[in-house]
Amino acid sequence: GYRGHNAPQSHKFRVFTAGQKRRVTPAIKRQMRRRSAVEPVIGHIKSEHRMGRNYLAGRQGDALNAILAAAGYNFSLLLRWLKDFLSLLIALLQLRPKSVAA
């Protein structure tokens, strides 16, 4: 993306790219790995949880949109975990030996 060559001093920032060799400290490498782990989640939230376009007005709408999208993402993770747990529980109940009446 654009690196802001003519930006005022108060808006200067540093951009690190994946192939960069010089001036990459262990802390910067850690931040880049973290960013690589977060980006797929951001893409998923944008496509599946209505974060691609904000229909709510103002700053408060921006904040609410982000919070609701994150809540929807977390709820879908919770539902997936619950489904896996219940399927495991049902499988364990079906494997339990049945007692024979004498």
pTM: 0.53
Residue boundaries of the structural domains of the chain: 26-94
Which residues fall within 8 angstroms of residue 44, CB to CB, at 6 or more apart?
Answer: 73
Q: How far apart are CA 96 and CA 51, in angstroms?
A: 45
One digit per residue, pLDDT tens: the chain, 102 residues?
455 567 677 766 667 777 777 777 888 888 888 887 888 888 878 877 777 777 778 888 888 888 888 888 889 899 999 999 999 999 988 887 776 665
Q: How far apart are CA 37 and CA 101, in angstroms?
A: 56
- Reported residue count of the chain is 102
